[in-house]
Amino acid sequence: MTIQELRDMKSRLSTKMVGESLEIHCENQFNLNRATAFKNSYFEKDNDASSGSKGDYIFREIDDNKIEIVSIMFEMKNESEGGNNKRKNEDFFKELDKDRTQKSCEYAVLVSLLEPESELYNSGIVDVSYKYPKMFVIRPQFFLPIISLLRNASLETLKYKTQIDLMKRENYDITNFENTLNQFKNAVGKNVALAQDRFNDAITEIEKSISHLQKTKEALLISKKHLLSADSKSQDLTVKKLTKNNSTMKKKFNDLKSFKD
């Protein structure tokens, strides 16, 4: 749609009808491409005025996992050629930004036929984020291109977000693994320390037992020596030796010997 065609259309319609025709134009463009380009998207009137104001349309698209890819608050503005109140695009930025924020949309787009002689707005997609974040002003012919542009940018962003989330999860898993490993090491260390203490106690007790057994062995060896000595002496014992220096016992043994004879 050229600027001249827009002027011709505006000259034939009232202000209200021009605005409605602009909305219908955008809605028709979306519906014509819905089946092929916007399967997981919707573009619907913003009928929620509970916050005190509302935009014209909201576009949202989700992926197969029900994660929102992109959301856009649209406002359509026009005025008749013969209108006395020549409004400017900038007059609607504040309210559009408010609607975007209240309806939780990421982007705001003003589809405008205002300021038809403006070289700036006739040049294409105009980024006005220097005034309000994530806001653009377009002519109707850029309605589908702006959706595609923002959607593709959001897809790239979503891809990086997904990668970042994955890295965070992996880092979290690694952290958990390291924590678990450290806990295991600490537990093993404590068990080893306890086992080492018990081992040392056991060695000490064994050493004590060995020392006690050694003393017992030495005592037994001494006893054995005495016993052997006693046995040796007992084997060498004779009557002669027993009665030596004992005249009484000597006489008794001699008398006993004579009686037997």
- pLDDT of 19 above 80: no
Q: Which pLDDT tens digit goes with each residue over 230-248?
A: 666 656 556 566 566 667 7
SS3 55: coil
Kindly tell me the burial class for residue 98, based on how many C-beta atoms sit within 10 Å of its own C-beta (0-12, 13-18, 19 or more): middle
138 and 111 Cβ atoms separated by less than 8 Å: yes
* Closest by Cα among 222, 225, 252, 228 to 239: 252
Give the number of other Cβ atoms within 10 Å of residue 248's Cβ.
8
CATH number of 3-156: 3.40.91
* Selection from 30-34, 36-40, 197-201, 251-255 with the highest mean pLDDT: 30-34
Axis crossing angle, helix 15-37 with helix 143-235, rounded to the nearest 10 = 40
* Closest by Cα among 30, 6, 49 to 109: 30
Q: Which pLDDT tens digit goes with each residue over 41-58?
A: 888 888 766 666 677 899
71 and 58 Cβ atoms separated by less than 8 Å: yes
Kindly report whether the global pTM for this prediction surpasses the value 0.75: no
Continuous segment of H or E residues that includes residue 172: helix 143-235
Give the number of other Cβ atoms within 10 Å of residue 155's Cβ.
14
Rounded Cα distance between 142 and 146, Å, is 6
